[in-house]
Amino acid sequence: MKSSDKRLLSDLGEFGLIGRIRERFRVPEGVTGIGDDCAVLPQRSGRDTLVSTDMLIEGTHFLRADIPPYRLGWKSAAVNISDIAAMGGSPTATFLSVALPADLEAGWMEEFLRGYAELSGRFGAALLGGDTTASPDRICINVAVIGECPCGAARLRSLAREGDLVCVTGCLGDSAGGLKAILEGVERDADVQMLIDRHYLPLPRVAEGLRLAATPGVHAMMDISDGIGSDLQHILDASSGGRAAALGAKINLAKLPLSEELRRVCARLGWDAFQLAIGGGEDYELLFTCTPEAEQALDVPHTVIGEVTGRFRVKPGMTGREPEMTDIEWRGADRQFSGFDHFRKA
Amino acid sequence: MKSSDKRLLSDLGEFGLIGRIRERFRVPEGVTGIGDDCAVLPQRSGRDTLVSTDMLIEGTHFLRADIPPYRLGWKSAAVNISDIAAMGGSPTATFLSVALPADLEAGWMEEFLRGYAELSGRFGAALLGGDTTASPDRICINVAVIGECPCGAARLRSLAREGDLVCVTGCLGDSAGGLKAILEGVERDADVQMLIDRHYLPLPRVAEGLRLAATPGVHAMMDISDGIGSDLQHILDASSGGRAAALGAKINLAKLPLSEELRRVCARLGWDAFQLAIGGGEDYELLFTCTPEAEQALDVPHTVIGEVTGRFRVKPGMTGREPEMTDIEWRGADRQFSGFDHFRKA
């Protein structure tokens, strides 16, 4: 923590804290930001508003002792802006709610805001409001993000079609490998440090999402937050909606993009790179489907990992409510993979 | 709790819970709601989007043993929609983030959603997204609300002028009296029960806000969440912005609208009704300023409690960052009053 402000929030006070937040963020022209009952943003015809929100709880999503506040601030903004990227939109504004223990040092929050501002600033998202309140113990964070895209252009999960290719940007599993390294206290050589950085400092794929959404033949899109085992299933479920014959997918394990760093760390420590890549999540890469013709024309770096198949099977688990993660064939695998459920034990 | 579902969230699973949430809320035509990375709402020229967000933490804002989940759901939606009312707007949609302990009974969440849906439904606000996650122990709730109003029509806090009358809708202090009754375990006669209901089941003044915003000469407006001692100060600070001579206000204590129930309970138990009305908060009534001419023409039930004065005093505390609550003269009072600061001790 670089900031040396050791004052406690109970001394700084709620309005002192809000003052510090306001100092860090510039409000764009024509917009009302922090300081009123609501933020006010003009609407434009021919545009759609995009909205998403994510909650981070100390003890569930992060451990205060493990994550530097700058990185937590960065990540809190990044995971939300990634949802805008996943629709093919541009982020406009974020709204930050924080519940903080009164005995937290003001310097912790300064560092959190510095990371939050650094990431949001890179993507042009202003902080236009939120809530500051006291927590009895754990830090709770909620970010709501607003973005926009041309009317009707949002890349929904429900747009996948039989015959589409399944593609991803970047590499998979680095973030999950970084988390595993943190939790297991692995010694931090350069490879491990890269995985940990990928876990704490994800970069939402906003520019890539915009280019993909502007490419004809790119259909369903989402960001990878729970692992492709779970996230691809969401696309299949959403795209099967209401039709008698549901969609499935065949994924070729040999095609999964794994970083050299992840391969080396897994080889050294005996970790299962496929499990990390498929079940781990938090990569915040884009998962999308497109026609083979569109794939040929893409100007966004990506990897084709499989294809969407039709008339695969219809099972009770395909209602969209309790996916059973068995509608994807993992070619080259000797077992099933599944994604993450926040309430279920592994 | 009416629901008899004793299953734990760890058995229902995250997607089971999301399924139950989706069942309760209808998505309006032309809008994408729960189930994608973002909600998608069309923009219209000539309209402004309003956004606000509020966080409720178990142990800070509510005690699980004290508040029935139906009432907590109601209140979570109400306090947010009240922020839209305070701008003179109409609520469009809400976004609900919840962090829940895995050993919470599914029936608790069912009841929470029933209250949330009942209140939002009354004001036409669809639930279009959110986040469901696990909490190690405490329940954390964050609601973000989206609304709209005609372009430029939002009633900002910064619009108060010298010579304006200070007005409120409804009665003040009931909610604070109800909270005090709960915390002190006061016997619940009809008067006390009414105060408790006002605390748990606030009704945002959406219709009143719309009528006030449409009335020429109605200037600043906000909802009363922290008590008028604090909230009126916010209006004065915001309306003094950048001017050498700041605004003040003179409030006549004898004019404060107090319910018969609050008067009787205070008389019986020796409570200070003025302290509850001024410092207690959570009334979710509207506090607004308007010209004397506009006040004559208002078709919204209200009480004039004082006036905005000019060139009152300029003090260090009037920077908008750390209001000292001393720029308001409380006529008829023998002491100062102040509002609520989430991090400071009383």
Of A42, A51, A323, the CB nearest to B38: A51
Quick check: B128 and A51 CB within 8 A?
A: yes
Asked if residue A334 has pLDDT above 80, the reply is no
Give contacts of A19 with chain B, Cβ < 8 Å.
Answer: 319-322
Asked if residue B311 has pLDDT above 60, the reply is no
- Give the pLDDT band (50/70/90) at residue A338: low
Query: Quick one: pLDDT at residue A335?
Result: 63
Least confident of A324-333, B72-81, B82-91: A324-333
- Edge to edge, the sheet with strand A47-57 lists A126-134, A90-100, A140-150, A47-57, B39-42
Mutate to test the interface with B, among A32, A51, A105 (most CBs of B within 10 A): A51
Higher-confidence position of A310 and A118? A118
Q: Is A87 on the interface with B (CB under 8 A)?
A: yes
**Residues A116, A120, A124, CA angle at the centre, nearest 5°?**
160
Query: Quick one: pLDDT at residue A21?
Result: 76
CA A27 to chain centre: 25
Query: Quick one: pLDDT at residue A6?
Result: 75
- Give the pLDDT band (50/70/90) at residue A318: very low
Of B32, B51, B341, the CB nearest to A146: B51
What are the pLDDT digits (tens) for B112-122?
A: 999 999 999 99
Query: Quick one: pLDDT at residue B14?
Result: 72
Size of interface A-B (CB pairs under 8 A): 273
Mean pLDDT, rounded, for B175-204: 94
Among chain B residues, CA nearest to A318? B15
Q: How far apart are CA B171 and CA B175, in angstroms?
A: 10
What are the pLDDT digits (tens) for B127-164?
A: 998 888 899 999 999 999 999 999 999 999 889 999 99
Say if CB B162 and CB B308 are below 8 A apart. Answer: yes
Query: Quick one: pLDDT at residue B323?
Result: 42
User: Strand (E) positions, chain A?
Assistant: 39-42, 47-57, 90-100, 126-134, 140-150, 165-168, 218-223, 248-252, 286-290, 303-309, 328-331
Quick check: A93 and B343 CB within 8 A?
A: no
User: Which of helix, strand or coil describes residue B259?
Assistant: coil
CB < 8 Å from A in window 239-298 of B: none
Of A135, A154, A344, the CB nearest to B13: A344
User: Across all residues in chain B, what is the average pLDDT?
Assistant: 86
| Sequence-distant (≥ 6) Cβ neighbours of residue B114 within 8 angstroms | B3, B24, B70, B73
What are the pLDDT digits (tens) for B206-217?
A: 999 999 999 999
Mean pLDDT, rounded, for B86-97: 95
What are the pLDDT digits (tens) for B256-308?
A: 999 999 999 999 999 999 999 998 889 999 999 999 999 999 999 999 999 99
| Sequence-distant (≥ 6) Cβ neighbours of residue A91 within 8 angstroms | A81, A84, A85, A120, A123, A124, A125, A145, A146, A147, A206
Query: Quick one: pLDDT at residue A320?
Result: 43
Query: Quick one: pLDDT at residue A143?
Result: 96
Say if CB B220 and CB B302 are below 8 A apart. Answer: no
Quick check: A238 and B35 CB within 8 A?
A: yes
- What's this model's pTM, rounded to 2 decimal places? 0.88
| Sequence-distant (≥ 6) Cβ neighbours of residue A180 within 8 angstroms | A186, A271, A276, A280
Quick check: B57 and A99 CB within 8 A?
A: yes
Give contacts of B129 with chain A, Cβ < 8 Å.
Answer: 51-53
Query: Quick one: pLDDT at residue A203?
Result: 96
Q: Is A95 on the interface with B (CB under 8 A)?
A: yes
Query: Quick one: pLDDT at residue B334?
Result: 67
Query: Quick one: pLDDT at residue A63?
Result: 87
The single-letter DSSP state of residue A186 is -
Tracing tokens 């375990």 back to the chain, one arrives at B185
Q: Is the dihedral of CA A330, A216, A81, B54 positive or negative?
A: negative
Q: How far apart are CA B45 and CA A34, in angstroms?
A: 24
What are the pLDDT digits (tens) for A257-309?
A: 999 999 999 999 999 999 999 988 899 999 999 999 999 999 999 999 999 99
Of B57, B128, B142, the CB nearest to A135: B57
Quick check: B133 and A222 CB within 8 A?
A: no
Quick check: A51 and B129 CB within 8 A?
A: yes
Mean pLDDT, rounded, for B5-18: 74
Q: Is A112 left (phi over 0), alpha (psi -120 to 50) or beta?
A: alpha
Q: How far apart are CA A196 and CA A175, in angstroms?
A: 7
Asked if residue B243 has pLDDT above 60, the reply is no
Say if CB B142 and CB B55 are below 8 A apart. Answer: yes
Q: How far apart are CA B14 and CA A8, in angstroms?
A: 36
Asked if residue A129 has pLDDT above 80, the reply is yes
Query: Quick one: pLDDT at residue B29?
Result: 77
Tracing tokens 């650094």 back to the chain, one arrives at A118
CB < 8 Å from B in window 105-144 of A: 128-138, 140, 142, 144
Backbone angles phi, psi at B280, to 5 degrees: -80, -45
Among chain B residues, CA nearest to A241? B35
Give contacts of A46 with chain B, Cβ < 8 Å.
Answer: 43
Say if CB A116 and CB A77 are below 8 A apart. Answer: yes
Among chain B residues, CA nearest to A157? B36
Query: Quick one: pLDDT at residue A3?
Result: 52
Say if CB A51 and CB B95 are below 8 A apart. Answer: yes
Q: Is B23 on the interface with A (CB under 8 A)?
A: no
* B158-167 core/surface letters (b: 16 or more CB in 10 A; e: else): bbbeeebbbb
Radius of gyration of the CA atoms of chain A, in A: 21
Residue A131: exposed, middle, or buried by beta-carbon count in 10 A (0-12, 13-18, 19+)? buried
